[in-house]
Structure 1
Amino acid sequence: MSSIDQFHRSPVPAHHDLRLMEPALEGAGVWIVIPCYKVRDHILNVLAKVPPWIDGVVCVDDACPDRSGDLIEAGCADPRVHVLRLPENQGVGGATLAGYGEAARLGGVILVKVDGDDQMDLSYLPQLVTPILLGEADYAKGNRFSSVSHLQGMPGVRILGNAGLSFLAKLSTGYWNVFDPTNGFTAIEASVARLVAEKRVAKRFFFETDLLYHLGTLRAVVRDVPMPARYGDEVSNLKITEVLGPFAWRHLRNFMRRVLGQYFVRDFNVATLELIFGGLFLMFGGLYTLNWMAVREPGQAASAGVVMTAALPVIIGVQLLLQAMNFDVVNVPVRPIHPYLRTLARIEAAALGDDAAATRGSGA
């Protein structure tokens, strides 16, 4: 059993008085990461809106043909802004992960990903980082579907597409409590970001959803933050016809990997038994039906016994699988992991310091 699994199985302490935990934004170590690729018309406007309590900004020039990095260095005098240039285009996911690493190296504690196309309202930054500052979440993301009024600026095609993708993401990630998985306005705690960076997260347009899947394997807590949709004259690089097939395949792959890992490798519980026996009952009923249809005489009607033998296992199998899904819905992570990761890092740093002091004392 991993240390993170042990952490989640330990008793949950009593909830603290939130009045004693009011977050201070100034000096909280909040950094913004902005992937920059073909955003020359908007990036300086985005940087101009960065609030004063943000400690730093990392703009990732993702081998941009428009030389976004040069434009930022020439047109932005804010000393908090740092430009990171990637030698090859890594996609939005690769650029974001690189930005996470650079921001954490420079002292970032909470890392906020903002797109460079000025679609995101930075006035919602406090709402986005507060769940992490309070220790209630490891990752927070925008949700444009929290209110009908928030969808007024979103085209109808995007509403339908995002709604469908949201349901698929619930299945593939296990986060049944979140919606709008493709929303790129996100915040993550730095120690959690370091763990995620070690995993094989998709680097292109599937990045946000794949990141949720990998956060699920860590049992990280994810929180939705309501905010309205916002669209302007920006041009999206995402073409629905090109990503529909790959997205569907990746959701199916992540779903299979999640179920296998969560219910057969890292744990074995009642949902595991429901999945096994539900699948067996369903398979028996289906195979029995196909076999009877193959061997029956032409025009022969099925007897009551045949119908029950075929239907009853299917009904039981479906009920067991629905029970397994219900278990999965209530099994969403509820205890953040970043306090544990921070404490572990401090202990390891202290141990390394003691070892270094012992080495110096021995004259080695």
Structure 2
Amino acid sequence: MYVASDASEPHHLLPDARVWIVVPCYKVRDHIHRVIAAAPSWIEGIVCVDDACPQHTADHIEAVVRDPRVVVVRLSENQGVGGAVMAGYAEAVRRGAGILVKVDGDDQMDLAYLSQLVVPIILGEADYTKGNRFSSVGHLGGMPGVRVFGNAALSFAAKASTGYWNVFDPTNGFTAIEASVARLLLRKQVARRYFFETDLLYHLGTLRAVVRDVPIPARYADEISSLRVRAVVGSFAMRHLRNLIRRVLGQYFVRDFNVATLEMVFGLALLLFGGGYGLHWLAVREPGQAASPGIVMTAALPVIVGVQMLLQSINFDAMNVPTRPIHPYLRTLERIDGE
């Protein structure tokens, strides 16, 4: 029998937070009891989502766990980590949760850092917080080298596709979200499998939600990841490109039209003109014919100016990260509508 651990942090430090943990469960039968036992006493509820687990994790939880806070949700078909988390969000929100913390069931995440995730939301400084394993060299000691390189590459791609240039480690699954923001995300078509965390950031960006990194080291033990990098790298690249295009069109051509829009339009036009002119001249020139200074400048100058304008638009985009949390507004709106 497994029971909850005694947390050193008293509940009064988190007044009215109503923090719930959401745990997607797939092939984590040997680890899930440790995750539940590590949940501090100030956690109000724990939603364990059995994602059609072949190990029947839900049955195992109901048989050996005696923590009254645990709620088991069973999915009839495997929906991937994203589908399981969204199902857990929906259940926790339905039960009155105020903050939802997503924790993997493989015991990689140190629940001693839970308070650091939820406090920025309680203080109204963020709508969504996430762990960042790259905040310190010491945090990378237990991380396999291939994961360090892969996460660094994915982080740069995610910055461009999500618009959150101020965050790193986008695939980190140790996250917390305010419930009213989660309600909005439940209406969106968020990716259900391995691209879930990054796609969630993209959708948070469309809401102009504030996202904050929290330094948290990862733990690696005997768990086995089912993610195969070679199998998903092409899919991830295409999804990042799709989200980048959708974000730029939505943010700079539909919802707003500003100086960055002009820099993108004219920068791309100049770059295409200069590059096209230069390639055309190379195609039609006589053998051995040298380019005149005028031809060189006609091709090179638009390219140089175009690149500079595109770089300026990227700088504008990096400075345009959301800074004002939206959940105070959403909570107030919900109270007004509920009266």
TM-score over 0.5 for the alignment? yes
Does residue 163 of structure 2 align to residue 170 of structure 1?
no
Asked if 1 retains the 8 angstrom alpha-carbon contact of 2:110 and 2:218, the reply is no
Partner amino acid, structure 2, of 1:320? M
Q: How does 1:187-226 map to 2 (within 5 A)?
A: 187-226=176-215
2:312 aligned with 1:342: no
Q: Distance in 2 between matches of 1:185 and 1:75?
A: 25
Superposition deviation, residue 312 in structure 1? 0.1
Amino acid at match of 2:46: V
- Letter paired with 2:266: F
Q: TM-score, normalised by structure 1?
A: 0.89
Matches within 5 A, 1:26-37: 27-37=16-26
Q: Distance in 2 between matches of 1:44 and 1:215?
A: 31
Q: Which residue of structure 2 aligns with residue 111 of structure 1?
A: 100
Q: How many residues align?
A: 328
1:53 aligns with 2:49: no
**TM-score scaled by length of structure 2:** 0.96
Could you say which residue in structure 2 is the equivalent of 1:180? 169
SS at match of 2:24: strand
Structure 2 distance, partners of 1:27, 1:211, is: 26
Measured in 2, the distance between the counterparts of 1:73 and 1:133 equals: 32
1:150 aligns with 2:139: yes
Structure 1 residue 185, shift from structure 2 partner: 0.1
Q: Post-superposition shift, 1:87? A: 1.2
Task: Determine the C-alpha separation between the residues in 2 that align with 1:148 and 1:77.
Answer: 39
Superimposed CA distance per residue, residues 259-297 of structure 1 (whole angstroms, 9 cap, x where no aligned partner): 000000010000000000001100100110111011110
Aligned counterparts of 2:189 and 2:90: Cα–Cα separation in 1 = 15
Paired residues for 1:1-364 under 5 Å:
24-25=13-14, 27-350=16-339
d(CA) in 1 for partners of 2:279 and 2:114?
A: 57
CA displacement at 1:28 relative to structure 2: 1.6
Percent identity between matched residues is 74
Q: Return the letter of the residue paired with 1:74.
A: A
Deviation at 1:27, TM superposition (A): 4.2
1:229 Cα deviation after fit: 2.1
**What's the CA shift for 1:52?**
0.3
**Structure 1: which 5+ residue stretches go unaligned?**
1-22, 351-364
CA distance in 2, matches of 1:150, 1:66: 32
CA drift at 1:26: 5.2
Kindly provide the CA deviation profile for residues 170-214 of structure 1, in whole angstroms up to 9, marking residues without a partner as x: 000000000000000000001100101111100000000000000
Contact 2:24 2:85 in 1 (8 A): yes
Contact 2:267 2:305 in 1 (8 A): yes
The one-letter code matched in structure 1 to 2:259 is V
C-alpha distance in 1 between matches for 2:255 and 2:220: 42
**Which residue type is aligned with residue 119 of structure 1?**
Q
Q: Secondary structure at the match of 2:13?
A: coil
CA RMSD in angstroms comes to 0.8
Q: Give the secondary structure class of the aligned counterpart of 2:282.
A: helix
Q: Secondary structure at the match of 1:224?
A: strand
Shift of 1:24: 3.0
Gaps of 5+ in 2: 1-11
User: Alpha-carbon deviations, 1:68-118, whole Å to 9, x = none?
Assistant: 101001110000000011111110000000000100111110000000000
Give deviations 1:303-324, integer Å, cap 9, x for gaps: 1111100000000000000000
